[in-house]
Amino acid sequence: MYVSGTDPRSDTFEELAMPLFDQLYNFAYWLTQNREETEDLVQETYAKALKGFSSFQPGTNFRAWMYRILRNTFLTSRTGLKATMTVSLDAEEGGPALASERETPETVLMERSDWQRVQTAIDDLPVAFREILLLCELEEMSYREIAETLSVPVGTVMSRLSRARRMLAERLRR
């Protein structure tokens, strides 16, 4: 007797994929830095995943499988190809403001400035380092999950993550 959710084959695509939507959308937005392209990327990711769901191996990491599809779709898109060849030097404006307990115009300005500096520094990282940093820090994936998602060895994940953190720190010091 199987309880729903205990046998991976009994889970439907919707049951597995829909809880990941917000996480995939956020990751896609960090990669594309454009709302329309993000929506297209996520839609194409879900379409490809649904079409290929029969090839998903039950018992393996569905989350990593979905992120891999999203990443590969991004890298083969016009935006992804441009991003892997160049590094954006444009700062994104209008980023979210961070809340504070005692907001004054000065604290709001400082917090927005700090957030924009961090966001710009992350945006300036080459895609290979940006995606590792985002998967680890924002999506809270383990090294093993990141390695599965990116189809690289765990050692490469650790090396790239270390380099990404170092590059980010250098950019923030400037």
Measured CA distances, 18 to 66, 151, 164 (Å)? 11, 23, 30
How confident is the model over 137-148, as pLDDT tens digits? 888 899 999 999
How far apart CA 101 and CA 108 sit, in angstroms, is 11
**Amino acid found at 170:** E
Report domain extents, the chain: 8-89+124-173
Q: How far apart are CA 117 and CA 171, in angstroms?
A: 9
For residue 75, name the pLDDT band (cuts at 50, 70, 90). Answer: confident
Q: Are 71 and 149 in contact (CB under 8 A)?
A: yes
Q: Is 57 helix (H, G, I), strand (E, B) or coil?
A: coil
pLDDT of 100-159, one tens digit each?
345 556 555 566 667 778 888 888 889 889 999 989 988 889 999 999 999 999 999 999
Fold of the domain built from segment(s) 8-89+124-173: Butyryl-CoA Dehydrogenase, subunit A; domain 3 (1.20.140)
Residue 81 pLDDT: 56
CA-CA distance, 57 to 73, in Å (whole number)?
Answer: 20
